[in-house]
Amino acid sequence: MNILMAMFGAVSQGLVWATLALGVYITFRILNFADMSCEGSFALGGSVSAVLMVNIGVNPFMTVIVATLAGMVAGAITGILHTKLKIPAILSGILTMIGLYSINLRIMGQANTSLIGQTTMITIIRKILPTPEVLGIKDSTLQTWVVLAIGLVFTVAVIGLIYWYFGTEIGCCIRATGNNETMVRAQGVNTDVMKILGLVISNGLIALSGALVTQSQGFADVKMGVGAIVIGLASIVIGEVIFLRPRNFASRLLSIMIGSVIYRMIIALVLQLGLNTDDLKLFTAIVVAIALSIPTLKKNRAATRKGAV
Amino acid sequence: MLKITDLYKTFNPGTVNEKQVLKGVDLELKDKDFVTVIGGNGAGKSTILNMIAGVHYPDKGSIVLEDEDITYIPEYKRAKYLGRVFQDPMMGTASNMAIEENLALAYRRGDRRGFAWGITKEEKEIYVDKLKELDLGLEDRLTTKVGLLSGGQRQALTLLMAALRKPKLLLLDEHTAALDPKTAEKVLKLSEQIISDNALTALMVTHNMKNAIQYGNRLIMMYDGRIIYDVSGEEKRNLKVNDLLEKFQSVSGGEFANDRMMLS
């Protein structure tokens, strides 16, 4: 029973974190850009959402939109550092990430902001629903259901949006830019603008995920983005392993959502099996390193079989 | 229609790798000219094409295309006037994208990209017709990823993309050098056909003297950053590989045509 509850919680967690994975997918897989700024923009989304609710009493749904916009600005900064000022991709992201650490502290005025007793998306929805006693379930179960529903609605909406956007003329140019910049420029497209656009969308989605996670866990923390890129990558590669050959863009996006859920289930499982939470990041890093090296290892093995040394 | 005046370019100035690649190049193309450019390694052939395309800016000189000075216009902005095919078959297409998606990108060359759907049903019919003309069976593989095509197929597709929106000038940068001789021959034939069908003005860089003589109405030979020989019309038609070799030896002071300048 205990493990079933843990799995149920993992599914809801996976869904609120799925938007992060989708954002990482846009930079890492579509743009071919390892964007470290996502660690900062994830915490930025959380900080902005929390502070707007706690300090100003803004509608929780509205805070998600503002958080997304803040993330988009962060993405634009990384993009400008990289394209206009020619700073290497990885370093541009790191600079934004480090800068955002201070900015997030400034926004919150402290290292974390608690949402206890605050109106969040979850409390608003729970107000509409019958009480747990009436439904005959535990309070925590209802809480998980609400988080799950919010995660699902946002993730499906974001998948729809990404699917539409990357099918448009601009979206096609962004995809092609990640593939072959020379060709895209030869077709009369400003690749700098395409990269910036991709980073803007990606970081917007990642900040959105940060806001959702903050509201579902009941606090924002300046360190909540640490390892975000690895968690996003883990979701992507798990999705790729499960689906093997996603037939089209829609199923690829869906595979990332499912990958995010499975990642949380794996984490819940190893924690149940007694893994120390301190070791979690190392565990994730090892899983992602192995998953990313599988294609190379396979190629090497095939070469060895053919007689190469 | 294209007027290049006194073009100079030095790469890596002030370093040990400093190399002056263009030393005052003047070149004027007439409408519907099909010019082949020949020369050894480092003669500056590809650099000229890259200057016209805007990949590099010259240190000195000007490039005027149909009365517009494009010398310092960014590459992506002048792309609307130019069709380009590269030496590396991987360069002209996006390998992770479908044949039809690549064509759709080329079909919008020079247009503002908006939120309209990236590819429409009507244009797919155009692509099928155009691909049929290539006679490679690609018309049945619209959704195939370009990465799965052979080098020759990719170059043929790139050619088609370059001419899909009629360019003012077609730039072919040794576009058959990476292909096997038979495929190279096919792609060259196709290039000639596309150029004549669309009445294009074209500049084709090649290492192959025979091809340089066989194709086009004018031939230019480059050596050490300068144009050293320029023939057209009757004189070009009567040109033989031996004539080119002699010419090359006389200007280079006995240095023999190197192995990359194929003699056949």
Q: Looking at the complex, report in whole angstroms how far the Cα of residue B83 sits from the nearest Cα belonging to chain A.
A: 8
Question: In chain A, which residues have their Cβ closer than 8 Å to the Cβ of B74?
Answer: 190
Q: Which helix (H) or strand (E) holds A293?
A: helix A280-305
Model pLDDT, residue B40: 83
- Whether the CB-CB separation of B176 and B210 falls below 8 Å is answered with no
The backbone torsions φ and ψ at residue A40, rounded to the nearest 5 degrees and listed phi first, read -75, -40
Q: How confident is the model at residue A306 (pLDDT cuts 50, 70, 90)?
A: confident
Model pLDDT, residue B254: 58
Model pLDDT, residue B261: 52
Question: How far is it, in rounded angstroms, from Cα A186 to Cα B109?
Answer: 8
Q: Domain coordinates of chain B in residue numbers?
A: 2-90+151-252
Question: How far is it, in rounded angstroms, from Cα B85 to Cα B160?
Answer: 10
Question: In chain B, which residues have their Cβ closer than 8 Å to the Cβ of A188?
Answer: 76-77, 79-80, 108-111
For B146-159, the pLDDT digits (tens) are 999 999 999 999 99
Q: Which of B77, B94, B108 sits opposite A183 (nearest CB)?
A: B94
Judged by CB atoms closer than 8 Å, whether chains meet at B76 and A191 is answered as: yes
Q: How confident is the model at residue A307 (pLDDT cuts 50, 70, 90)?
A: low
Mean of pLDDT values over A31-50: 97
Judged by CB atoms closer than 8 Å, whether chains meet at A187 and B118 is answered as: no
Mean predicted lDDT score pLDDT of chain B: 92
Question: In chain A, which residues have their Cβ closer than 8 Å to the Cβ of B92?
Answer: 183, 186
For B60-93, the pLDDT digits (tens) are 999 999 999 999 999 999 999 999 999 999 999 9
Is residue A275 helix, strand or coil? Answer: coil
Cα nearest neighbour of A188 on chain B: B76
Q: How confident is the model at residue B253 (pLDDT cuts 50, 70, 90)?
A: low
Distance, CA of A98 to chain centre: 18
Percent of chain B with pLDDT over 90: 82
- Residues whose CB falls within 8 Å of the CB of residue A233, separated by 6 or more in sequence, listed in order: A24, A28, A288, A292
For residue A240, pLDDT over 50 is answered with yes
Interface test mutation site (partner A, options B55, B56, B76, max chain A beta carbons within 10 A): B76
For residue A19, pLDDT over 70 is answered with yes
Question: How far is it, in rounded angstroms, from Cα A164 to Cα A172?
Answer: 11
For residue B263, pLDDT over 50 is answered with no
- Residues whose CB falls within 8 Å of the CB of residue B15, separated by 6 or more in sequence, listed in order: none
Q: Which of A171, A179, A189 sits opposite B96 (nearest CB)?
A: A179
Question: How far is it, in rounded angstroms, from Cα B142 to Cα B127?
Answer: 8
Backbone region of residue A250 per phi and psi (left: phi > 0; alpha: psi in -120 to 50; beta: other values): alpha
For A203-214, the pLDDT digits (tens) are 999 999 999 999
Question: How far is it, in rounded angstroms, from Cα A134 to Cα A7?
Answer: 24
Question: How far is it, in rounded angstroms, from Cα A96 to Cα A74?
Answer: 7
Q: Which residue has the tokens 């016209």?
A: B52
Superfamily of domain B2-90+151-252: P-loop containing nucleotide triphosphate hydrolases (3.40.50.300)
Model pLDDT, residue A203: 98
Domains of chain A (ranges; CATH) run: 2-278 (1.10.3470)
Largest pairwise CA distance in chain B: 60
Q: Looking at the complex, report in whole angstroms how far the Cα of residue A77 sits from the nearest Cα belonging to chain B.
A: 22
- Residues whose CB falls within 8 Å of the CB of residue B197, separated by 6 or more in sequence, listed in order: none
Judged by CB atoms closer than 8 Å, whether chains meet at B76 and A172 is answered as: no
For chains A and B, CB pairs below 8 A equal 84
Q: Looking at the complex, report in whole angstroms how far the Cα of residue A182 sits from the nearest Cα belonging to chain B.
A: 7
Q: Which helix (H) or strand (E) holds A50?
A: helix A37-51
The side-by-side arrangement of strands in the sheet containing B218-223 is: B82-85, B169-173, B202-206, B34-39, B218-223, B226-232
Model pLDDT, residue B197: 94
Mean predicted lDDT score pLDDT of chain A: 93
Model pLDDT, residue B256: 56
Distance, CA of B185 to chain centre: 16
Q: Looking at the complex, report in whole angstroms how far the Cα of residue B53 sits from the nearest Cα belonging to chain A.
A: 8
Distances A280 to A11, A66, A267, A285, A287 between C-alpha atoms, Å: 18, 31, 8, 9, 11
Cα nearest neighbour of B90 on chain A: A180
Counting every residue, how long is chain B? 264
Judged by CB atoms closer than 8 Å, whether chains meet at A169 and B115 is answered as: yes
Q: Which of B82, B90, B105 sits opposite A172 (nearest CB)?
A: B105
Cα nearest neighbour of B158 on chain A: A183
Judged by CB atoms closer than 8 Å, whether chains meet at B95 and A187 is answered as: no
Is residue A216 helix, strand or coil? Answer: helix
For residue A33, pLDDT over 70 is answered with yes
Q: Which of B84, B86, B118 sits opposite A172 (nearest CB)?
A: B118
Q: Looking at the complex, report in whole angstroms how far the Cα of residue A195 sits from the nearest Cα belonging to chain B.
A: 14
Nearest to B156 by CA among B203, B188, B124: B188
Question: In chain A, which residues have their Cβ closer than 8 Å to the Cβ of B101?
Answer: 172, 176
Return the beta strands (E) in A152-294 as ranges: 219-221
Model pLDDT, residue B13: 92
Mean of pLDDT values over A104-126: 95
Mean of pLDDT values over A81-99: 97
Q: Which of B86, B102, B109 sits opposite A188 (nearest CB)?
A: B109
Which residue type, as a one-letter code, is found at position A228? A
The backbone torsions φ and ψ at residue B61, rounded to the nearest 5 degrees and listed phi first, read 105, 180
Q: At CA B75, angle to CA B27 and CA B171, rounded to 5? A: 45
Q: Looking at the complex, report in whole angstroms how far the Cα of residue A125 sits from the nearest Cα belonging to chain B.
A: 34
Mean of pLDDT values over A284-291: 89
Q: How confident is the model at residue B264 (pLDDT cuts 50, 70, 90)?
A: very low
The stretches of chain B forming alpha helices (DSSP H) are 45-53, 75-78, 99-107, 121-134, 151-164, 181-197, 209-214, 233-237, 241-252
Interface test mutation site (partner A, options B52, B84, B96, B172, max chain A beta carbons within 10 A): B96
- Whether the CB-CB separation of B202 and B235 falls below 8 Å is answered with no
Cα nearest neighbour of A31 on chain B: B96
Which residue type, as a one-letter code, is found at position A258? I
Read off the tokens for B36.
Answer: 């082949």
Question: In chain B, which residues have their Cβ closer than 8 Å to the Cβ of A169?
Answer: 108, 113-118
Model pLDDT, residue A135: 86
Judged by CB atoms closer than 8 Å, whether chains meet at B105 and A184 is answered as: yes
For residue B260, pLDDT over 50 is answered with no
Q: How confident is the model at residue A146 (pLDDT cuts 50, 70, 90)?
A: very high
Q: Looking at the complex, report in whole angstroms how far the Cα of residue A92 sits from the nearest Cα belonging to chain B.
A: 24
In degrees to the nearest 10, what's the CA dihedral of B147, A200, A286, A159? -70
Residue A306: count other Cβ atoms within 10 Å of its Cβ. Answer: 7
Nearest to A37 by CA among A72, A66, A84, A86: A72
Least confident of A191-205, B47-61, B131-145, B234-248: B234-248
Judged by CB atoms closer than 8 Å, whether chains meet at A183 and B92 is answered as: yes
Highest mean pLDDT among A94-108, A123-137, B108-122, B208-222: A94-108
- Residues whose CB falls within 8 Å of the CB of residue A161, separated by 6 or more in sequence, listed in order: none
Which residue type, as a one-letter code, is found at position B111? D
Nearest to B42 by CA among B251, B222, B252: B222
According to DSSP, the residues that pair with B37 across neighbouring strands are B205, B220
Model pLDDT, residue B262: 45
The pTM assigned to this predicted structure is 0.92
- Residues whose CB falls within 8 Å of the CB of residue A36, separated by 6 or more in sequence, listed in order: A90, A93, A94, A96, A97, A229
Question: How far is it, in rounded angstroms, from Cα B199 to Cα B31?
Answer: 9
Mean of pLDDT values over A60-82: 98
Mean of pLDDT values over A130-148: 91
Question: How far is it, in rounded angstroms, from Cα A103 to Cα A70?
Answer: 11
Backbone region of residue A129 per phi and psi (left: phi > 0; alpha: psi in -120 to 50; beta: other values): beta
Model pLDDT, residue B248: 80
Read off the tokens for B108.
Answer: 């919008």
Question: How far is it, in rounded angstroms, from Cα A259 to Cα A237?
Answer: 7
Model pLDDT, residue A133: 87
Q: Which of B80, B94, B118 sits opposite A188 (nearest CB)?
A: B80
Nearest to A214 by CA among A94, A138, A122, A96: A122
According to DSSP, the residues that pair with B172 across neighbouring strands are B85, B204
Question: How far is it, in rounded angstroms, from Cα B127 to Cα B99?
Answer: 9
Model pLDDT, residue B38: 92
For residue B259, pLDDT over 50 is answered with no
CA atoms within a 13 Å half-sphere pointing along the CA-CB vector of A171:
17
Question: In chain A, which residues have their Cβ closer than 8 Å to the Cβ of B170?
Answer: none
Q: Which of A175, A188, A191 sits opposite B110 (nearest CB)?
A: A188
Judged by CB atoms closer than 8 Å, whether chains meet at A169 and B117 is answered as: yes
Judged by CB atoms closer than 8 Å, whether chains meet at A179 and B111 is answered as: no
Question: In chain A, which residues have their Cβ closer than 8 Å to the Cβ of B96?
Answer: 175, 179
Residue B120: count other Cβ atoms within 10 Å of its Cβ. Answer: 12
Under an 8 Å CB criterion, which residues of A touch B? 167-173, 175-176, 179-180, 182-191
ipTM: 0.91
